[in-house]
């Protein structure tokens, strides 16, 4: 359902059911517009986006109020605001980073809710106690937050977009237009190489309609360091298989333990010199130089990046390069920091993006707030995420995953799900044993997580070509 409410409201008019207490120092607004959209719904639950536009004077501190008409509706999780509910009255108050709203300013909010029996839309909204009333557009039901159109018939993601580049904070295609790529990551090649063959890559390209394939080559844990030439050859073969199907390939130097990427600096230089020389003429390759730095300073990560990037550039001057961030690629959040350390001390290189990883059951509102804030200052790429806990296991969290993917769609941030494998863990897309059978299509081979991620990835892309 979508409803637009716009007005230059009279001061002091308040919706009784949704009356709110204004934050201290908040100024009254003279007018506002709210676009409320139910982006998805399922038995007993739904997800909504709320786009607030301030049509009145600038405010410093704001509170959006509305009332659910059905007593069974509850906000269970929200983002980009501090959400509270008392009875049927809901309040979304500013957080520190979006406290000020200039005239004409827009803030995008959202929440996951529960319902019993029905899911009617709110009747009206208030901004700092002033009612937003007026013209409406007829309610509609959507399944995503954006309108999608299919790409030209018979053309692959690489054929359409060509050589990628970073423009501002966006990933852009050959037409210098921002795009979003969506795809899947392998598990460790040393454990699950049987999952990556012609049949599984065909399924990824055609059944899943994915845009990219991340090749996770562990360095330790029985990976690259045990057989450099063998793993390099395996990566190159998978790059070729992705290229043949028109998929972008992320070559992931999957460092995890130890967390300081400088431990593998010499190995990284050797590996990337080899794969960049071999694949430098291809348009489908993206390089990820350090998977999840942890327990190490941003300064050390930056130093590593500034030594590895020139090695790639000598052989491949045009490809996009992904740089891992502090605290398991959380922009530092998981170790008590945030994106400001990167903004204040960026990597001295061009055509790069910074990675962000999340696991939906573990990383919620404060992580989403960081991404929302950082996306306006840094080019971000979610090169790994899971629908479960940070361990790769635990309960599948559909609500948090949906909130994350809606946010990434809204911000046009590319994402890659962990994992395209049949690992005996809840993050895997395939049921255990699938890779032994050779059939990768159809709902019967998918886990609960895999079925949901496939439903999100296989929606049509919106690649601009002019």
Contacts of 344 (CB under 8 A, 6+ apart): none
- Going through 305-379 in order, the beta strands assigned E by DSSP cover 321-323, 352-359
The active-site residue, picked from 243, 288, 341, 384, is: 384
231: enclosing H helix or E strand: helix 228-244
Nearest to 456 by CA among 201, 248, 203, 144: 144
Which of 292, 339, 341, 425 is an active site residue?
292
Is the distance from CB of 246 to CB of 267 less than 8 angstroms?
no
Residue 149's CB is within 10 A of a number of other CB atoms, namely 8
Asked if residue 162 lies in contact with residue 463, where contact means CB atoms within 8 angstroms, the answer is no
**Where does residue 220 rank: exposed (0-12), middle (13-18), buried (19+ CB within 10 A)?**
middle
89: CB partners within 8 A, 6+ apart: 17, 18, 19, 20, 65, 66, 67
**Cα–Cα dist 24/4, whole Å:** 28
Close Cβ partners of 100 (under 8 Å, ≥ 6 residues apart): 58, 59, 60
Torsion region of 437: left, alpha or beta (phi above 0 gives left; psi -120 to 50 gives alpha)? alpha
**Residue with the two structure tokens 């699950």:** 192
Would you call 448 a catalytic residue per the annotation? no
Question: Does residue 243 carry a catalytic annotation?
Answer: no
Helix axis angle for 448-457 and 398-411, nearest 10°, is 20
Output the CA torsion sign for 16, 77, 62, 57: negative
Q: Tell me the backbone φ, ψ of residue 340, rounded to 5 degrees.
A: -60, -30
Distance CA 19, CA 72 (A): 19
Q: Which two tokens stand for residue 205?
A: 């390209």
Pairing of strands 321-323, 285-288: parallel
DSSP assignment, residue 30? S
* CB neighbour burial string for 205-217, b if at least 16 within 10 angstroms, e if fewer: beebbbbbbbbbb
The residues that are catalytic are 292, 384
């Amino acid at each position: 359902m979508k409803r637009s409410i716009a007005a230059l409201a009279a001061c002091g008019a308040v919706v009784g059911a949704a009356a709110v207490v204004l934050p201290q120092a908040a100024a009254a607004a003279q007018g506002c517009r709210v676009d409320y959209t139910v982006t998805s719904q399922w038995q007993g639950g739904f997800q909504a986006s709320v786009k607030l536009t301030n049509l009145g004077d600038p405010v410093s501190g704001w509170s959006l109020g509305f009332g659910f008409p059905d007593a069974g509706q509850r906000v269970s999780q929200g983002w980009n605001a501090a959400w509270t509910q008392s009875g049927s009255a809901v309040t979304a108050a500013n957080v520190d980073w979006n406290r000020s709203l200039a005239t004409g300013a827009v803030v995008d909010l959202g929440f996951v809710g529960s319902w019993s029996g029905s899911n009617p839309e709110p009747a009206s909204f208030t901004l700092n106690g002033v009612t937003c009333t007026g013209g409406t557009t007829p309610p509609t039901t959507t399944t995503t937050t954006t309108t999608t159109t299919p790409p030209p018939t018979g053309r692959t993601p690489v054929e359409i977009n060509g050589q990628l580049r970073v423009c501002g904070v966006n990933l852009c295609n050959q037409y210098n237009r921002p795009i979003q790529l969506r795809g899947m990551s392998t598990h460790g090649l040393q454990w699950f190489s049987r999952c990556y063959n012609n049949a599984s890559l065909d399924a990824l390209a055609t059944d899943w309609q994915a845009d990219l394939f991340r090749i996770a080559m562990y360095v330790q844990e029985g990976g690259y360091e045990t057989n450099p030439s063998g793993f390099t050859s395996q990566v190159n073969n998978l790059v070729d298989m992705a290229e043949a199907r028109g998929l972008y390939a992320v070559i992931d130097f999957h460092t995890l333990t130890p967390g300081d990427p400088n431990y593998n600096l010499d190995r990284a230089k050797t590996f990337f010199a080899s794969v960049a020389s071999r694949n430098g003429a291809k348009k489908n390759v993206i390089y990820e130089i350090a998977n999840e730095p942890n327990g190490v300073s941003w300064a050390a990560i930056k130093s590593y990046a500034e030594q590895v990037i020139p090695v790639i550039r000598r052989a491949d001057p045009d490809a996009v390069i992904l740089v891992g961030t502090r605290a398991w690629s959380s922009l530092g959040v998981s170790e008590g920091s945030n994106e400001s350390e990167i903004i204040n001390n960026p990597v001295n290189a061009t055509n790069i993006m910074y990675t962000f990883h999340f696991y939906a059951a573990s990383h919620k509102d404060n992580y989403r707030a960081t991404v929302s804030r950082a996306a306006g200052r840094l080019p971000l790429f979610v090169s790994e995420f899971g629908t479960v806990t940070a361990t790769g296991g635990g309960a599948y969290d559909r609500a948090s995953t949906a909130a994350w993917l809606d946010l990434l769609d809204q911000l046009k941030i590319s994402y890659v799900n962990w994992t395209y494998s049949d690992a005996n863990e809840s993050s895997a897309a395939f049921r255990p044993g699938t890779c032994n059978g050779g059939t990768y299509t159809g709902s019967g081979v998918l886990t609960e997580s895999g079925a949901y991620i496939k439903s999100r990835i296989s929606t049509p892309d919106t690649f601009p070509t002019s």
